[in-house]
Amino acid sequence: MSREIHKRIEGRSPAFLVLIAVLGILVLLGMGSAWTMEHHGHVITGMSNRIVWGMPHVFAVFLIVAASGALNVASISSVFGRTAYKPLSRLSVVLAIALLVGGLSVLVLDLGRPDRLIVAMTTYNFRSIFAWNIYLYVGFIAIAGVYLWLMMERSLNKFSKAAGMVAFIWRLALTTGTGSIFGFLVARQAYDAAVMAPLFIAMSFAFGLAIFILVIMFTSGGTGRELGEAMVRRLKNLLGVFVGAVLYFTIVQHLTNIYAAEHHAVERFILLDGGIYTTLFWVGQIIIGGALPLVLLFTPLFADSREAIALAALSVIAGGMAQLYVIIIGGQAFPLVLFPGKIVSSSFADGSIASYSPSLPEIGLGIGGVALALVIVAMAVKILALLPRTLADTETDPT
Amino acid sequence: MSCGNSCNSNTSSRRGFLTSMAASAAGATAGLTLAPGITLFSPAQAKARGKGEAASSKVRWGMLVDANKCDDGCTACVDACADENGWQGEGNPATDAQWIRKVKVTDPGTGKSQSLPMMCQHCEEPPCVDVCPTGASMKRADGIVLVDKHSCIGCRYCMMACPYQARSFVHEPVSGQRTRAPRGKGTVESCTFCVHRVDEGQQPACVEACGGTKRGALTFGDLNDPESEISKKIATYPTQAIRSDLGLKPGVRYMGLDT
């Protein structure tokens, strides 16, 4: 007789209730921020007619990109047949849905007219990658939901592999769509590059897995479930590979630009003299988001220490936020080139670097989205049997 | 000169009378009152659109900016646009709308400067229309690019896509709105070529104001009509589109640029 692999958490401990309360307060904070922004208008934010997308978009894109990456653990099991990951598949799917819902909430609440969401859901311009993304995002949630159901309903388990394949292909399309939001912007010096799509896919693998590792460590520790060395080592090695992939595509992105003389100015801005953006690129994205995790994950000095792996995952998340800040806000701060080779100035700040400092409502809205994603996960593991009873090596890696 | 229905509508209405008076005072190419009851109309006015009549692709509205006639320090076009369309600033330069702005272009080698107006270029292939998820950004059959204020959700993707930084987001509650150019907090807006005036056979406010300064740096008209003043100028003088490398085929062209 087979015994259940997954079990709900009790969710009655004071620690769990405190967690839900804290996350709930942060969600309320986010909603309050959104209300303030809508009431007064975006004039109270740091955004302007030059920096039209700000901190909410950094959070939203991070969460959306991480969502598709969080699904990878399930994909590795279903699509690539690595059964050791199978016990984690349910949590992987739920985390993916939760992160996407959190990210989309931020994106929608930042709209100038969020009350017109129904217009966005019913009126489409199919030349717009944004319109495609609405389908890709909603479709992702639907497909992931069906995938989860097929995994949890024993009589339908046999279909879960096919659903996993569909979900995997869909998530690649989704991240391609998110990267292409920037890749399709022909007029902006910092964007307009096909490499944005694979770069965003690599970013999604890294960010999503980093969040997944922290969630599985936190839930295992918090509920007294065993988390075996073999499983941790697998996840750790995978994270290292993904961090390497992000670095690789980042190098390709900038080397391609540096080769073309017309992009020298924007590359100089990001890599050398862009102030906060240059600092965030080298210190945030490259050192904290790339080099530090690789050192923590692969040098014998740390010898697979759990703390080092958790710190590496946190570094990947911090570096990822820095990377998106540089891409989204740095890319807008650099002026549009109206007259190549000329010095341009105007009352609309033509030709100059745009200034931007994130406001509290923007950050509050972003944090609210993160908290919403986490509270969905916390409630889901209480309501549904998502977490494996144990991830001891004897269970996941019997060989 | 035959001018069809537009003659009647312009001469019989108070608005048309005032317009033709203003235009004649400005010495612009718009209606010119030769004598009481006798008004000379430009080709643009002859193309006034009837009520309920759809914009026609037979017309392609365009504007020609003569940089040689545009003075640094003159903001007549900007002031006229702000007044006509009610987008006077709220005192926040970073977030205030600017449907049209004066841009100073300086050659770093020679130090020579030019001043010219920059606004929505009313592209034939507008990126703002391509990226708009709801179709709120749209191009009329006659080439005028507009934002439907009822279906704009305020995502600002069009602002990211516009190569000319021609669009503004309404960052705060608006005051001093004009009924002819409704605005709304949380939506995106830009130059409309004064579509409300063009549909009545008049010139955009900026063109009229520029003519009023005697500079006459702006010419507005039908690019599809070889007999229009703008078409003749484009056929005669070298002109160029800003960022022509992008292949967007803007409806606004510039001449006299020191490039």
| B162-199 pLDDT tens trace | 999 999 999 999 988 999 999 999 999 999 999 999 99
Q: Are the Cβ atoms of A50 and B94 closer than 8 angstroms?
A: yes
B106's enclosing H/E stretch is strand B100-106
A39 touches chain B (CB under 8 A): no
Please state, for a pLDDT cut of 70, what percent of chain B lies above it: 81
Query: In order of start, what are the domains of chain A with their CATH numbers?
Result: 6-337+346-390 (1.20.1630.10)
B176 touches chain A (CB under 8 A): no
Q: How far is B127 from chain A (nearest CA, A)?
A: 8
Q: Are the Cβ atoms of A117 and B108 closer than 8 angstroms?
A: no
Which whole number is the average pLDDT over A353-379? 97
| A70-103 pLDDT tens trace | 999 999 888 888 888 888 999 999 999 999 999 9
Q: Residue B21 — very low, low, confident or very high, per pLDDT cuts 50/70/90?
A: very low
How far apart are the C-alpha atoms of A356 and A332, rounded to whole Å?
A: 10
How far apart are the C-alpha atoms of B61 and B235, rounded to whole Å?
A: 16
Query: In order of start, what are the domains of chain B with their CATH numbers?
Result: 56-255 (3.30.70.20)
pLDDT at A154 exceeding the cut of 60: yes
Contact partners, residue B146, CB within 8 Å, separation at least 6: B137, B138, B139, B140, B192, B195
End-to-end CA distance of chain B: 41
Query: Strand pairing partners for B32?
Result: B40
- Output the average pLDDT for chain A: 93
How far apart are the C-alpha atoms of A210 and A315, rounded to whole Å?
A: 9
Quick one: which of A38, A180, A278 has its CA closest to B160?
A180
Contact partners, residue B220, CB within 8 Å, separation at least 6: B44, B61, B62, B63, B64, B193, B198, B203, B204, B207, B230
CA dihedral B55, B236, B80, B166 (to 10 degrees): 70
B98 touches chain A (CB under 8 A): yes
| A125-136 pLDDT tens trace | 999 998 999 999
Cβ–Cβ < 8 Å for A240, A210: no
Residues of A with CB below 8 A from B118's CB?
338, 346, 348, 350
| A190-249 pLDDT tens trace | 998 889 999 999 999 999 999 999 999 999 998 889 998 999 999 999 999 999 999 999
Residue of A nearest to B91 (CA): A43
So what's the pLDDT on residue A303? 76
| A139-148 pLDDT tens trace | 999 999 999 9
Instruction: Tell me which residue in A49, A113, A130 faces B157 most closely, judged by beta carbons.
Output: A130
Query: Strand pairing partners for A7?
Result: A387
Cβ–Cβ < 8 Å for A258, A267: yes
Q: List all residues of chain A from 47 to 86 with a beta carbon under 8 Å from chain B.
A: 47-50, 52-53
**ipTM score here?**
0.92
Which whole number is the average pLDDT over A335-363? 94
Cβ–Cβ < 8 Å for A257, A263: yes
pLDDT at B39 exceeding the cut of 90: no
* SS3 state at B144: coil
Q: Are the Cβ atoms of B186 and A112 closer than 8 angstroms?
A: yes
How far apart are the C-alpha atoms of B89 and B97, rounded to whole Å?
A: 7
Which whole number is the average pLDDT over A151-162? 89
Residues A388, A390, A392, A393, CA torsion sign: negative
Listed in sequence order, the DSSP H helices in chain A are 14-40, 55-70, 72-78, 89-110, 117-122, 129-152, 160-183, 196-223, 229-259, 264-268, 276-279, 292-298, 306-325, 331-333, 360-383, 393-396
Q: Are the Cβ atoms of A186 and B102 closer than 8 angstroms?
A: no
Contact partners, residue B236, CB within 8 Å, separation at least 6: none
How many CB contacts within 8 angstroms connect chain A with chain B? Answer: 175
| B93-129 pLDDT tens trace | 899 999 999 999 999 999 999 999 999 999 999 999 9
Q: Are the Cβ atoms of A49 and B173 closer than 8 angstroms?
A: no
| B196-237 pLDDT tens trace | 999 999 999 999 999 999 999 999 999 999 999 999 999 999
A130 touches chain B (CB under 8 A): yes
Q: Are the Cβ atoms of B94 and A350 closer than 8 angstroms?
A: no
Q: Which of A1-5, B32-36, B159-163 has the lowest mean pLDDT?
A: B32-36
Residues B98, A184, A273, B105, CA torsion sign: negative
How far apart are the C-alpha atoms of B92 and B168, rounded to whole Å?
A: 13
Q: List all residues of chain B from 185 to 204 with a beta carbon under 8 Å from chain A.
A: 185-188
Q: Are the Cβ atoms of B108 and A348 closer than 8 angstroms?
A: no
Q: List all residues of chain B from 15 to 34 with a beta carbon under 8 Å from chain A.
A: none
Residue of B nearest to A355 (CA): B94
